[in-house]
Amino acid sequence: MNIDSALTTFVAESRELLRTMEAALLTCEQSGADDETINSIFRTAHTIKGSAGLFGLDEIVAFTHVVESVLDRSRSREIELDRTLCSVLLECSDHMQRLVESVAASDSSDDPRLKAAGVDLIARLEASSAQAMRRPCLAPDASTLPTAPREQWRTSTDSWHISVRFHADVLRNGMDPLSFVRYLATLGRITGLQVVDAALPHPGQFDPEACYLGFEIGLRSEADKERIEGAFEFVREDCTLRILPPRSLVGEYVALIRDMPNADGRLGDLLVRCGTLTRHELDRCLELQQQLAQNDADEAPPLGELLQHNQLVQPPVIDAALQAQREARTGSPDKPHGSRTLRVDGAKLDHLIDLIGELVTAGAATNLIARRAGLAELNESALRMARLVEDIRDHALQLRMIPIGSTFARFQRVVRDVARETGKDIRLELSGADTELDKTLIEHMVDPLTHLVRNAIDHGIERPEVRIQHGKRAQGVLRLNAYHDSGSVVIEVSDDGAGLDRERIVRKALERGLISDASGLSDGQVHALIFEPGFSTAEQITNLSGRGVGMDVVKRNVTALRGSLEIDSRQGAGTLVRIRLPLTLAIIDGFLVGVGASSFVIPLDIVEECVELTHDERAASVGHRYIDLRGSTLPFIRLRELLGIKALGAKRESIVVVRCGEQRAGIVVDELLGELQAVIKPLSKLFSRLQGVSGSTILGSGEVALILDVRGLVERSLAAGGAAASARASTALN
């Protein structure tokens, strides 16, 4: 095994597990802890500790073991997972993340600050868990309690008792049952060992490759339960295991006798021979077992109360018994029959997409050659290959499409922490978590979304007392939403806060020289000023804001992803920031158009229709930037004029009608060249500020075609159309 590759897998899986742990802890903090959530958190910590142990990462093992122990006490209901303890556990999760990241960075040096932070957290965790000790239940009526003291109902042995039954396939899976017994001997001294062979079938049905053995083992050891369980780590799915600590309650042995398979009525005697129980204690167990046998299994809750009143069984044992009953009725718990998920390195997937992109380009060249050759069979074969390439492309791109929900879930923690830091009460609402987009896009959107969320909390949502004064609920609401629209992915960050203050934005912009006069600016243009570098309306610098960085990062990152930003804000009612992104950065379905000798690609999913401009319409549109399309005004832009293409005018012109969101406009071109699959090639930094163009592609002929930034063009055409309308109105008035 390549240890570096395995370590990389450990880091990746630990990151995912810690995100799951954080989400579960936030759920417990906000909504209260239930058994399933606590078990999920415990399993996460246990898995990370076990995996770290395989690589000798002692720092992670030692710290996670303390966290795991606290969670185990919470599982057994010894302590309550309250808000305070959840808060400390969240900090522990952060520390575990830092430890994992130090492994990812190959930082083998002992960081004293990291160690000191771990020691401090352990102290706080132990203090919080001590405060979270569950209050004892009110004692039942004295007449129902036994007169003997509680200690009398515990066993006298100071040994662990291990009861294990190996499943039939353990030998076929390459495991030796005796090896686990030998390993236990390294943890302490085996005080008793009894072989259980009650599962032996009739000689005629005996399978020499099957295992029919079990063991009852007494072990005197200083090891804890987790370490003893670890002895059976590699056979855990192939055995039934029960471990009881020294001086356990008698009732726990009753549950053991009842629940262990293949006991055949002899388990009690085996426990005595192991030295785990005395004969007197066994008699007490059998007496209680007879009492339990008189109760129907469906009366488990009253029976549980009886056992508690007699101080024989603790609540966790009752819960285990109820779970065993449910499993007895419905069968054993479901187990996965092999995982259908395969982890693939992102670099390999990106390389596959690149190869498919080249295949698309080669396929386009083949189609072009087939059309020129005029051979029907060759043309048909080329079309068939084109369809297959398109299917391969769609399936390959789908591999990179992942739901945005996991990214949204990260902001539960961000909102919690920032709201506490600012003294605000804020609820995060998520919608559209199933919306899928390219993995690369999601990775690049985490930072912009973080800035938007923090900005909404710090600048947008007011403090509780201020909200109450304005007739709002004390708790503010921050919403994250995602959906598909016109071939794009839209991500919205909105709040019900104070909204953007136009006058304050204008004042700050004038102070910084960003504008000279705001009288002619629309609200949208004023709101867009907050994305200018260094712009901030904060009155004072804090840990969150005031330095003028953040929102310009949002704009820069979104623009780099061929996306756009929109702001809709009403003062006193809240703000909505809408981010519109392409579905993928790799390959798109495009519509090829020509102007002069140049070719351009328009994303196909935003094309509504194509209309030929008649001679009269061309004559009427001279000097104007709009036409009458079936009774409605359609603003348009001529690519020839916009890009300064100096070539003879075409005899015919067509207008491509496009729609971006609610906006509709036209693009006038010379030729309509048809649909194609375009492999997107990013522009170099030299052309990074080029407006109206978002990328390039290579055609089947080997020529380069520019991919148009249609949204930018539409905004320009709408502005031109508005100016033309104003000019017409002015002429009419005069």
* CB contact at 8 A, 270 and 196: yes
Q: How confident is the model at residue 465 (pLDDT cuts 50, 70, 90)?
A: very high
- Kindly state the average pLDDT of the residues 380-394: 84
Q: Taking the CA atoms of the chain, what radius of gyration do you get in angstroms?
A: 35
Rounded distance between C-alpha atoms, residue 681 and residue 53, angstroms: 45
Architecture category of domain 402-582 in CATH: 2-Layer Sandwich (3.30)
Residue 685 and residue 552: Cα distance in Å, rounded?
A: 18
The mean pLDDT value for 520-531 works out to 81
Q: What is the reported pLDDT for 575?
A: 92
How would residue 104 be classed by pLDDT, with cut points 50, 70 and 90? Answer: confident
565-616 confidence digits (pLDDT tens) = 888 888 888 999 999 887 766 677 889 999 888 889 998 888 889 998 887 7
pLDDT of 340 above 70: no
CB 236 within 8 A of CB 230: no
Average pLDDT over residues 653-668: 84
**Residue recorded with tokens 């804001």:** 545
What does the pLDDT read at residue 310?
A: 42
Is the predicted pLDDT of residue 331 greater than 80, yes or no? no
Instruction: Please write the tens of the pLDDT for every residue from 674-731.
Output: 888 787 877 776 776 677 787 788 887 778 888 888 877 777 666 655 555 445 444 4
Q: Domain 3-131 has what CATH class? A: mainly alpha
Q: Which of 214, 203, 272 is nearest to 240 (CA)?
A: 214
Query: Which tokens go with 339?
Result: 């995982």
Model confidence band, residue 732 (pLDDT cutoffs 50, 70, 90): very low
- Does 484 score more than 80 pLDDT? yes
- The helix or strand, by DSSP H or E, that contains position 416, with its residue range, turns out to be helix 405-422
Using a 10 angstrom Cβ sphere, with 0-12 exposed, 13-18 middle and 19 or more buried, the burial of residue 324 is: middle
pLDDT of residue 431: 92
Q: In this predicted structure, what is the pLDDT of residue 486?
A: 67
The CATH T-level fold of domain 587-733 is: OB fold (Dihydrolipoamide Acetyltransferase, E2P) (2.40.50)
Same fold, 402-582 and 587-733: no
Q: Across all residues in the chain, what is the average pLDDT?
A: 77
Q: Is the pLDDT of residue 479 over 90?
A: yes
Q: Which of 139-148, 347-356, 400-409, 540-549 has the lowest mean pLDDT?
A: 139-148
Confidence of residue 480 (pLDDT cuts 50, 70, 90): very high
316 has pLDDT over 60: no
Hey, where are the domains in the chain? 3-131, 151-328, 346-400, 402-582, 587-733
For the entire predicted model, the pTM comes to 0.58
